Structure 1
Amino acid sequence: MSSDSIKFLEGKRVYLRPIENEDLDFFYKKALWDEEGRRLTGTQAVFSRVGVQNWFERISTDSSRVDLILCLQDSDRPIGDLAMLEIDHQNRKAVVRVSIFDRDYWGKGYGSEGMSLVLEYGFGILNLNRVGLDVFAFNERAIASYKKLGFQQEGRIREDLFYDGEYHDSILMGVMKDEFRKVE
């Protein structure tokens, strides 16, 4: 992306911008087929390029969600995505998810910084009171990141995912507006 990219939400090291049609090849090649990324997200589906295009067209007009690309400030390089889903203005709640596609950027705090920006937006602009997520119990790095932001475990769904011949629990986590801790 060029330096005139839209920077919807900006942090010190990362920024978030809307997903554009030009990003779909990035999604298709980087996000959907990385073996470890698929394991961490429990992805078992088979995707086609046309299917990705159809997904993009469907989400582009869905007002109950905000889908964003996570980019590095210093190079505009896209390294992942974040989404705020199931935005419910009446009950002031939503669900979030984050994925860093490029393993070179795992464990360096980029996902936490991006998630912090999305939570600030959700609590400060959308006036949400609660944001939730679920994460598989084996994804300890993500759980630690979420706890840094103020998320607390609210429940556990036993044997929620069957992947590679094994069952895995899903951990339900949530953060209230007054529990959120900004990460930079």
Structure 2
Amino acid sequence: MTSFWTGKRVRLRGIEPEDWQTFRRFDEHSGHQRSVDAIHPPRSAEGYRAWTAERAVATPLDNRFQLAIEELRSGELVGALSTDATDLRAGRFHYGIGIVADHHRRGYAADAVVLLLRFMFGERRFHKCEAGVYAFNDASLALHRRLGFTEEGRLRDHEYFAGRHHDLVVLGMTAQEFAQRHPFEEL
């Protein structure tokens, strides 16, 4: 029997203190750092150690958590994902994902997102997942469309970086839409 958290290419796991070097390497690539969130001031090695140590012992709060994405065959950390903006009344949550630059286009993000959605829809009873993607991030938009997300709108000039404002594309998927593409396992 395999773990619920194991897909075809990746395994989702908690963040470990020794993951600090990969997160530091991730942040060294400004373009990828910006596509996931924003460019932040440089952090010391000790700052990364403290950040991962804090996450390693963090207790998920209101279905908000961060997980490491590990390549299944090698065990190498290739990215991370998180949930936030959880709304239990409406049954809605938001998520974000980042894959280390030299691991792009290997199916890791798609596999990780399916695992996350299977958990949030099938185990936590959420009804809808939302994601925000910068309009210039064609790869992420294509990934979300392949997974079955629907473009629900565009927030014009919503985020500011690199000296100008950028649009944010809002995508969504319901539990029913997910189950049609990725059926839940039989017990």
Report the more deviating stretch, 57-66 or 141-150.
57-66
2-side partners of 1:55 and 1:73: how far apart?
21
Aligned to 1:4: none
What's the counterpart of residue 3 of structure 1? none
Where does 1:82-97 land on structure 2 (aligned, <5 Å)?
A: 82-97=81-96
Q: Which residue of 1 aligns with 2:164?
A: 166
Structure-2 residue corresponding to 1:138: 136
Residues 47-87 of structure 1: CA deviation (Å, up to 9, x unaligned)? 42455435863781341312111111111011000112233
User: Does structure 1 residue 182 correspond to structure 2 residue 167?
Assistant: no
Question: Within 5 Å, which residues of 2 pair with 1:58-69?
Answer: 60-64=58-62, 65-69=64-68
In the alignment, is the contact (CA less than 8 A) between 1:8 and 1:17 conserved in 2? no
- Comparing 140-149 with 153-162, greater Cα deviation is found at 153-162
When normalised by structure 1's length, the TM-score is 0.85
> Does the CA-based 8 Å contact 1:8-1:16 persist in structure 2?
no
- Report the aligned-residue RMSD: 2.2
Residues 33-182 of structure 1 correspond to what in structure 2 (within 5 A)?
Answer: 33-49=28-44, 51-52=47-48, 53-54=50-51, 57=54, 60-64=58-62, 65-101=64-100, 103-180=101-178, 181-182=181-182
Instruction: Quote the offset at 1:31 in angstroms.
Output: 2.1
* Alignment partners' CA distance in 1, 2:60 and 2:78: 24
Contact in 2 for aligned 1:94/1:131 (Cα 8 Å): yes
Taking the aligned partners of 1:56 and 1:123, their CA distance within structure 2 comes to 29
Secondary structure at 2:90 match in 1: coil
Distance 2:103 2:22 in 1: 16
Separation in 1, partners of 2:147, 2:40: 30
Maintained 8 Å contact 2:15/2:67: yes
- For 2:21 and 2:148, how far apart are their aligned partners in 1? 34
Deviation at 1:163, TM superposition (A): 2.2
Contact in 2 for aligned 1:66/1:84 (Cα 8 Å): yes
Counterpart of 2:136, as a letter, is F
Pick closer, same or farther for the CA change 1:11–1:88 going to 2, 3 Å.
same
Identical aligned pairs, as a percentage?
Answer: 29
Q: Indicate if the aligned counterparts of 1:8 and 1:15 stay in contact, CA closer than 8 A.
A: no
Give distance in 2, aligned partners of 1:179 and 1:60: 32
| Of 43-52 and 17-26, the range deviating more from structure 2 | 43-52
Runs of at least 5 residues in structure 1 that lack an aligned partner in the other structure: 1-6
**Contact in 2 for aligned 1:79/1:105 (Cα 8 Å):** yes
Name the amino acid aligned to 2:122.
Answer: G
